[in-house]
Structure 1
Amino acid sequence: MKYDIAIVGAGIIGLSHAYAAAKRGLKVLVCERTDQPLGASIRNFGFGVVTGQREGEMLNLANQSRNIWSEWINHADIDAKRNGSLLIARNQVEAAVLESFVENKVKQHGYECELLSKQDIGALYGGQFSRYSTILHGKNDQVIFSREALPQLIRYLSSLPNVTMKFGTLVKDLDVDQGRLITTIGDFSAAHIFVCSGHDYQTLLADEIQQLNPMICRLQMLRVRPVKELSLQHALFTGLSCTHYDAFRDLPETAILRLAMEKNHPEFVKYGIHLLITPTPSGDLIIGDSHAYSQFPRPFSSENIDNILLKLAEETLGLELKTIERWTGKYGSKGSEPYSIIKAGSCVTAVLMRTGLGMSIGPALGENIVANVCE
């Protein structure tokens, strides 16, 4: 059977391309090797971050993606928390970074955020964060519980008459000139193929991908339950994240913060720790994370890293937390750019995320890449 578009991978990048093609009325095939998405797209925080994106293309992609998420939330009845984020400064060094960001970047580059007043901070969650003097409210950030949202999006796409989903179907090889997919259940043809297979760098287009010197980031994460009800409705992170997100990295104050971390908390630097907390629909919290980079990540987790993350979260929230789940995430990383596009043959395009921002910019990437290929 011949399709207009075939997509390898049903993670957030693959589904973004599928949606962009389907809404254009194209006949779409999606092949996923497992029975549901099990990779980076469901192991993350579900944090659609706009505030932390570098000004220019990345900020534009994040804002465009937020608009596409609005369509998905409506079409697929996805639970989303769209109250934004709270970036908490735990000390004066972190506060200086947030103040510099507001002074030097917010209005100049169109970030939708503001520093909360002392009164506004005191009103948050019954005064739970009143001990902090500086909190940045990122108004366009959102939280989507990805392990539920992606299956819901898949159900919606599967209901469309021009979309065919084949799970448990490994694409073993491609004929990049003829547009043919060789799979474990037979061969399929398409006018154009998009390879969106995450950090699998060896099954398809291995020679082309190796030229990018790909790396994988491995991180540890926890799902926790507060002993006292919090009903968090925002994504929550701290000034530590300013050393992680590109919107803040070039500020002089961030360099000072990085030096302070190296001096006072070398374990944060060693394990690549910055705190992020996102709520789930059930009231639990996802906390993380650490960062370790290699070509072939090892499967073993460190109890010490989990304990550091748990302690940091409890101190920031001012609440005791009970761990109910642990897992490791993996995603493609360490590229010179946040994503890479590979053209192979006359009718194959591979799209690789090189950072952990698939939920934040993936929908816009899919829209723009499909538009460029098909229009």
Structure 2
Amino acid sequence: MEQHFDLVVVGAGIVGLAHALVAARLGKRVVVVDRDAQANGASVRNFGFVTVTGQARGEVWRRARRSAAVWNEIAGPAGIEIVQRGLTLVARRPEARTLLQAFLETEMAEGCTWHEAGQLANRLPGQGEVLGALTSSVDLRVDSRSAVPRLSAWLQAAYGVSFLRSVAVLAVETGRVETSAGALRADSVVVCPGDDLVTLFPDHFAKAEVTRCKLQMMRLADPGWRLPSAVMSDLGLVRYLGYAELPESAALRARLQAEQPAHLQHGIHLIVVQGADGSLVVGDSHHYAPTPDPFGREDVDALILEEFAKVFGQAPPPVLERWTGTYASAAGHSLVAAPMPHVRLVTVTSGTGASTAFGLAEEVVAGLFDLSPGVAA
């Protein structure tokens, strides 16, 4: 006999788990189907940095704020450690300082403060070429390698969410999902395939011109000091739209193009986060292709570590691990489509799944089950 669920979620990355959480909180019977035995994609190959500050103004920024609130709600019950809180976004150039001062005048700067370089000793050990920094209290960081599996286990234990792993989804239609382990009946289906752009509903990905982005990241040895928050630098100001869309970003972009053209060419910006064991996760770069090659480049890693040295005023610690990751990429924050009745296709196309998925999922689930706005929150 075919099993029946209120909601079938295809994909057990953070976007799929966010939809499972929202539906389970509404009392829905949920099953999550994933082709891998464990989390293996973009959801565990990232910083675990839940970034609110700097997200695109308006809808995306509000989703990020809501998602951070959900992380704070579920972390304790799910046994997920919030390893760091806040952000230290350093300005290495006067143009970056001017841009951040303009940002502080917007509604997006709630929870943010400017500090001159001499006020950063507690936030930036080994301070290098830094004029000052914007600090934020609203961002947070989890260890994605442990947080994603713990979230899955908690959904199963606390809400009875079922998981079918090492199971491929072969076809989706209204009310029915065909898998390699048999068919499932469902009132509704949410397909969250990450950067698998060809297995299910490829025409929607093609129409939205979705491609894939490859990034390079590293884990560095414990430097012997502690970061209370994540650290970013000038390069991030021209990638994160909350800053980059302000008029003041033009002068910074021009200077970066003159001084760090190779960094911009490879889509490099600096994010540094620290784990409970003291090791640092550092990255990253951005290269785009329908099928990116799987190989990391030493010259790209060297550019990332060069920016690290400029910010911290010291050589980076030894590299313990290197890896690449890929995610779906397109203009805008996400692709949300209704390929057929009671079916939604949802992919975050901005590399911000950990930062925005919970807020996005509440919107999608509310629409799928005809709920009033805010009911799914």
Secondary structure of 1:220's counterpart equals strand
Q: Does 1:112 align with 2:105?
A: no
Q: Relative to structure 1, is the Cα distance of residues 124 and 233 closer, same or farther in structure 2, using a 3 angstrom cutoff? A: closer
Q: Given residue 139 of structure 1, which amino acid in structure 2 is its aligned partner?
A: S
The amino acid that maps onto 2:296 is S
Q: Distance in 2 between matches of 1:12 and 1:209?
A: 19
> Matches of residues 38-53 of structure 1 in structure 2 within 5 Å?
38-53=40-55
Shift of 1:130: 7.7
Correspondences of 1:274-353 after superposition (within 5 Å) = 274-320=269-315, 321-335=317-331, 337-353=332-348
* 1:107-138 deviation per Cα after TM superposition (whole angstroms, max 9, x unaligned): x445320102455323436x633863311001
Aligned partners of 2:92 and 2:129 also within 8 Å: no
> Mapping of 1:242-281 within 5 angstroms?
242-281=237-276
Residue 194 of structure 1, aligned match among 185, 190, 193: 190
The more displaced of 36-45 and 313-322 is: 313-322
Counterpart of 1:149 in structure 2 is 147
- In structure 2, C-alpha distance between the alignment counterparts of 1:249 and 1:161, rounded to whole Å: 40
CA contact (8 A) 1:25 1:162 kept: no
Stretches of structure 1 that go unaligned for 5 or more consecutive residues are none
| 3-state secondary structure, aligned to 2:158 | coil
Q: Deviations over 1:57-87 (max 9, x none)?
A: 1111111111111122022111113530000
Q: Is the 8 A contact 2:128 2:313 kept in 1?
A: no
> How far has the Cα of 1:165 moved from its partner?
0.7
Which residues of structure 2 form unaligned runs of 5+?
Answer: 372-377
Would you say the 8 A contact 2:128–2:314 is kept in 1?
no
Name the residue aligned to 1:372.
367
CA drift of 1:270 comes to 1.1
The DSSP-based 3-state class of the residue aligned with 1:365 is helix
Q: Is the 8 A contact 1:97 1:239 kept in 2?
A: no
User: Which secondary structure state, in structure 1, belongs to the residue aligned with residue 285 of structure 2?
Assistant: coil
Instruction: Report the Cα distance in structure 2 between the residues aligned to 1:143 and 1:235, rounded to whole angstroms.
Output: 8
Instruction: State the secondary structure of the residue aligned to 1:371.
Output: helix
Mapped partners of 1:224, 1:96: distance in 2: 32
Question: Could you list the runs of 4 or more consecutive aligned residues of structure 1 that deviate by over 6 angstroms after TM superposition?
Answer: none
Letter in 2 for 1:277: V
Distance 1:311 1:131, change over 3 A: closer
Q: CA deviation at 1:231?
A: 1.8
Note if contact 1:26-1:162 (Cα within 8 Å) is conserved in structure 2: no
TM-score after normalising by structure 2: 0.93
Cα distance change, pair 82–137 in 1 and its aligned pair in 2 (3 A)? same
1:83 aligns with 2:78: no
Alignment of 1:232-247 (within 5 A): 232-247=227-242
Secondary structure of the structure 1 residue equivalent to 2:367: helix
Aligned match for 2:5, one of 3, 6, 13? 3
Distance 1:124 1:273 in 2: 23
How far off is 1:232 after superposition? 1.6
| In structure 2, C-alpha distance between the alignment counterparts of 1:63 and 1:265, rounded to whole Å | 32
CA distance in 2, matches of 1:82, 1:219: 22
Residue among 95, 98, 109 paired with 2:97 = 95
Structure 2 residue 18 is the aligned partner of structure 1 residue 16: yes
Q: Distance in 2 between matches of 1:49 and 1:361?
A: 8
User: RMSD value over aligned CA atoms?
Assistant: 1.6
Structure 1 residue 160: Cα displacement: 3.3
SS in 1 for 2:85: coil
Summarize deviations over 1:337-367 as a string: whole Å, max 9, x none.
Answer: 2111110221210101110110110011112
**Displacement, 1:98?**
1.4
Question: Is 1:203 matched up with 2:205?
Answer: no
How big is each residue's C-alpha offset from its partner over 1:291-338, in whole Å with a ceiling of 9 and x where there is no partner?
111111111221110111122213312333110000011111122x21
1:158 counterpart SS class: helix
Offset of residue 161 of structure 1: 5.2
Q: 2:32 aligns with which of 27, 30, 33?
A: 30
C-alpha contact (below 8 Å) 1:53/1:245 kept by paired residues:
yes
Q: In structure 2, how many angstroms separate the alpha carbons of the residues matched to 1:34 and 1:75?
A: 25
Q: Could you tell me how far 1:95 is from its partner in structure 2?
A: 1.7
Residues 109 and 275 of structure 1, relative CA distance in 2, 3 Å threshold: closer
Task: State the secondary structure of the residue aligned to 1:35.
Answer: coil
* Secondary structure at 1:84 match in 2: strand
Q: Distance in 1 between matches of 2:127 and 2:343?
A: 50
Rate the CA distance shift 1:265–1:258 in 2: closer, same or farther, 3 A.
same
Match of 2:213? 217
CA–CA distance in structure 2, aligned partners of residues 135 and 351 of structure 1: 35
Report the 3-state secondary structure (helix = DSSP H, G, I; strand = E; otherwise coil) of the residue aligned with 1:114.
Answer: strand
The alpha carbon displacement at 1:36 in A equals 1.1
Identity of paired residues, percent?
Answer: 32
In the aligned structure 2, how far is the partner of 1:369 from the partner of 1:96?
Answer: 38
- Residue 171, structure 1, aligned to residue 169, structure 2: yes
What is the TM-score when the length of structure 1 is the normalising length? 0.94
